[in-house]
Amino acid sequence: MPSHDDIHDVAGLAASLDAALAGVLAELGVEGPPAAAELGVPSRREHGDLTTNAALVNAKRAGRPPREIAQALGERWSAGPGAGACARFEVAGPGFLNLFLTDAWHRGALARMLVAGSHYGRGALPAERRQKVNIEFVSVNPTGPLHVGHARYASYGDALCRIFAYAGHDVTREFYVNDAGTQMLRFGQSLAARYAQRLGADVAVPDDGYQGEYLLGLADEFIAEAGERYLEAVAAAPDALSLPADVVAVFKTWGRDAVLELFRATLGRLRVPFDVWAHESALYTGGEPYRGFAGEVGKALADLDAEDLLYEHEGAVWLKTTRFGDDKDRVLIRSSGEATYFLSDIAYHRDKMDRGFEHMIDIWGADHHGYVPRMKAAFTALPPHQPERLELIIGQLVNLLEGGAAKRMSKRRGDIVTVDDLVEAIGVDAARFLLVGRSQDTTLELDLDLAVEQSSQNPVYYVQYAHARICSVLRTLVERGGEGAVALVDEVAAGARGLPDVAVGPEERDLIHTLARFPDVVLAAVEHRAPHRVHTYLGELAAGFHVFYRQCRVIVDDPEVSVFRVGLCRASQRILATGLDLLGVSAPEQM
RNA sequence: GCGCCUGUAGCUCAGUUGGAUCAGAGCGUCGGUCUACGGAACCGAAGGCCGCAGGUUCGAGUCCUGCCAGGCGCACCA
C-alpha cells in the first residue's frame, strides 16, 4: 500500500529529491546512479523540516564542492517536483541541504496519514524484499513453568513477528518442543516418583531430576485422571531411574501434554500466539529407517551421508562440521546408539527448509551461543547449502535482582520466578513494554521489587495515557456538539477532501514530523531485528503529542483550526495504537 | 586460554547502522506552569573525558587495533 509517488510522505519526497539529484549529476557529466543519501528529520528546528546529506555523499564522485551541489540540488528540486512543497531551502555546514516545507505540504502529509489510518506504514517493505519467514522462539523443553527469562524471548520474538508481518513479510511463528532425550526422561521419572509419593509409596525423585513443587500439582492432576493404575508398577522399581521404559513413557507423555497446556495458557495471557508447535519426538517417526533412524532424522542422515560428511569414531557417528568453520567435529549418534540433540536439531532445520521457508530465524538465549557455529555448519552442510537462509539471533539474558542482590534461578531446584508471577505482579502491558524496551544485545536488569513498586510509573502508561487522552478529547468534542469536525476528518480519511487551509504552528509541525517517521521506524525495526526501536519511538511520539496538546487547544471556536487539530489527534491516536499493538501492548480508551 | 555480548548522567537505557551543538530520554533530586479539551501532563536546573590508549578521514559515541572491566559460553547435556 505504500505509494512512493506522492511527495506528501517522506519516501515520496525522497524519491523526488533523488530524481532531481540525478539531473544535477547528469549535468555535471557523472555516470551512473547517485550514491544513496539520507533524508531525515533533523533534531533542531533551525535545520528545517527535512534535511539531506545527498550533496555530501556525492561530492567526491562529482568532483565539485558539496555546498555547490547542494545549492544546485535545492534550486532544481524547488523549481521542479518540490514546487508546491518547498517554502525555501538552505545550504548548511559542510554541504547539508535543509528543506523548509510549506504548510500545504504538512497538511497534505497529515491527510495522507489519515487516509492510511491504522495501516500507516503497513507493507512498508518493498515487494521484492518480502519473504516467507519462519521465526522460532521460546522453544523450551516442556518440563516446567516458563520463567522471566523466557518472557523476554517470548516478548521479543512476538514483537518481531508482529513487526515483520506488518512490514510485509509472510510470517510463521513456531515453537520447537524438545520432547525427546534425557531431560524428558528425567522429567518422566520425576513425575512418576511424585505420583507414587502422593499415593503413599516411597519413591525418591532422582538427584538430577526435577525437584520443583509444581510436579506435585501435576501428580495430583494425573491421579485425578488415571487413579492408582500405575502405582504398583512404579513402586515395584528400586528407584525412579530404573523404571521400565513403557511406564516412564506414560508419565513423560502425559506430563509433556500437561506442561504444554500450561505453556499455551501462560503465553496466551502474555499475548504470544504460535502457529506451529513442532515436536522433536515427531522427527523420529515415519518413512524407511536410515542408519536405524526413521522420519526426518533418517532423511537428514541420508542427506549428510550423500555429501560424504559422516564418519565413525570410537563407536559414535560424527559430522564433519569443521569443514564449515566449526572448532571440532560433532557427534550425531552416540556410542550408545542414541541420537544427540544436535542430530534432531539438524533434522528439524532440514524439515523447515522442506516446508518452503525462504528465511529462517531462530531466537536463542545467550547461554546457547556456543552452539551457533555447529548449527551454522550443519545447515551449510545440508542441501541446498545456503547458510544465509538461517539467521541465529542471540538474545542476552535477564539478570534478576531481588533485594538488590542477584538471584539465580534453577528450574530443577524449582527456584524460579515465573512468567505468571511477573504478569500477576505488574500486568501484561507493563511487563511486555518493559521486556521489549531494551536492545536484545544487552543484558536486561530486572529488579522485581522495583518493578512492582514502580509499575504505576512504567513508561508504558505515559504512552497509553497519550492515547487515552486523545480518546477523551474526541469524546468531549462530540459531547459539546463538535460532530461536524469529526465528520469532516472522516471525509478526509475517506479521501474525499483535503484538510482546511490553516496555518501550521511549530508544535503541530513537530508532531507531523514525528508521525511521518513511523514507516521508517517500522522498517528500521525489521532491518535491525530491533522491536525496541518501536518502543523508543512511541515514547517520543507520546511526548510530541503531549507538547502539542499543552500548547494547542483542539476544541476552539474557529472550525477550520478545530478540524485540522482533530485530524492531528486522530492520526496520533491511530499510530499510537498501531505501535503499541506491534509490541503486544493494549491501547486503552480510558485509564 | 579461546569465542560471543556489553561498558554513555546517581540508577535503567536510547543514540536512525560515519553527520551539523551529538552529549540524549525516563526514573531519582531541586525549582517552576494551567481557575479552559484528562496534572499519569508541560517547562527549567543540577548531573557525563561516551571504560582506557592509539588509528582510519572533511567529520568517530558510532568503524579498525590493543588493553581494562563485567556477563555468557567452550560435552557422546539440552
Rounded (10°) angle between helices A506-516 and A518-527: 30
The nt closest to A370 (CA vs C1′) is B73
Distance from residue A578's CA to nucleotide B25's C1', rounded to whole Å: 22
Distance from residue A543's CA to nucleotide B41's C1', rounded to whole Å: 9
Confidence of residue A529 (pLDDT cuts 50, 70, 90): very high
> Do A265 and A422 form a contact (C-beta atoms < 8 A)?
no
The nt closest to A523 (CA vs C1′) is B16
The nt closest to A556 (CA vs C1′) is B37
Contacts of A96 (CB under 8 A, 6+ apart): A47, A51, A52, A53, A55, A56, A70
Mean pLDDT of A461-468: 95
Distance from residue A153's CA to nucleotide B69's C1', rounded to whole Å: 27
Distance from residue A43's CA to nucleotide B16's C1', rounded to whole Å: 12
Cβ burial A554-587 (10 Å sphere, 16+ → b, else e): beeeeeebbbbbbbbbbbbbbbbbbbbbbbbbbb
Residue closest to B4, CA→C1'? A369
Give strand B nucleotides closer than 7 A to any protein Cβ: 3-7, 11-17, 19-22, 25-28, 36-43, 58, 70-78
pLDDT of res. A24: 87
Which of A10-24, A31-45, A475-489, A532-546 comes out lowest in average pLDDT? A31-45
Confidence of residue A270 (pLDDT cuts 50, 70, 90): very high
pLDDT in tens, A18-39: 888 888 888 887 777 777 777 8
H, E, C per residue of A116-158: HHHHCCCCCCCHHHCCEEEEECCCCCCCCCCEHHHHHHHHHHH
CA dist A493 and A113 (Å) reads 8
Distance from residue A98's CA to nucleotide B24's C1', rounded to whole Å: 22
Contacts of A126 (CB under 8 A, 6+ apart): none
H or E stretch covering A255 = helix A245-269
Mean pLDDT of chain A: 91
Distance from residue A364's CA to nucleotide B49's C1', rounded to whole Å: 37
pLDDT in tens, A561-572: 999 999 999 999
The answer to whether residue A1 scores a pLDDT higher than 50 is no
Which of A111-115, A452-456, A463-467 comes out lowest in average pLDDT? A452-456
The answer to whether residue A552 scores a pLDDT higher than 90 is yes
pLDDT in tens, A107-158: 999 999 999 999 999 998 989 999 999 999 999 999 999 999 899 999 999 9
- How far from A367 is each of A401, A405, A501, CA to CA, in Å? 19, 21, 59
The SS3 assignment for A69 reads: helix
pLDDT of res. A3: 43
pLDDT of res. A11: 79
Peptide bond into A459 cis (omega under 30): no
Residue closest to B74, CA→C1'? A370
CA dist A497 and A387 (Å) reads 51
The nt closest to A90 (CA vs C1′) is B20
According to DSSP, the residues that pair with A98 across neighbouring strands are A51, A90
pLDDT of res. A2: 39
CA dist A284 and A355 (Å) reads 17
Distance from residue A540's CA to nucleotide B50's C1', rounded to whole Å: 22
CA dist A143 and A146 (Å) reads 9
Confidence of residue A411 (pLDDT cuts 50, 70, 90): low
Nearest 5°: CA angle at A313, between A308 and A319?
Answer: 40
Say which residue, A269 or A16, is predicted with more confidence: A269
pLDDT in tens, A70-110: 899 999 999 988 888 999 998 887 788 889 999 999 999 99
Residue of A582, A570, A412, A388 lying closest to A478 (CA atoms): A570
The nt closest to A535 (CA vs C1′) is B14
Confidence of residue A45 (pLDDT cuts 50, 70, 90): confident
The answer to whether residue A171 scores a pLDDT higher than 90 is yes
pLDDT of res. A414: 61
Cell of A148: 522471566
Distance from residue A489's CA to nucleotide B56's C1', rounded to whole Å: 54
Distance from residue A379's CA to nucleotide B7's C1', rounded to whole Å: 34
pLDDT in tens, A184-195: 999 999 999 999
Contacts of A496 (CB under 8 A, 6+ apart): none
Distance from residue A22's CA to nucleotide B46's C1', rounded to whole Å: 50
The nt closest to A334 (CA vs C1′) is B76
| pTM: predicted TM-score of the whole model, two decimal places | 0.94
> Do A103 and A504 form a contact (C-beta atoms < 8 A)?
yes
The nt closest to A337 (CA vs C1′) is B76
The nt closest to A537 (CA vs C1′) is B14
Residue closest to B71, CA→C1'? A443
Distance from residue A526's CA to nucleotide B76's C1', rounded to whole Å: 39
Confidence of residue A405 (pLDDT cuts 50, 70, 90): low
The nt closest to A552 (CA vs C1′) is B37
pLDDT of res. A261: 96
Residue closest to B33, CA→C1'? A550
The answer to whether residue A431 scores a pLDDT higher than 70 is yes
pLDDT of res. A182: 87
According to DSSP, the residues that pair with A333 across neighbouring strands are A317, A339
Q: Which domains does chain A have, with CATH numbers?
A: 10-101 (3.30.1360.70), 458-582 (1.10.730.10)
Report ipTM (2 d.p.): 0.94
Distance from residue A95's CA to nucleotide B49's C1', rounded to whole Å: 30
Percent of chain A at pLDDT exceeding 70: 97
Say which residue, A94 or A533, is predicted with more confidence: A533
Confidence of residue A412 (pLDDT cuts 50, 70, 90): low
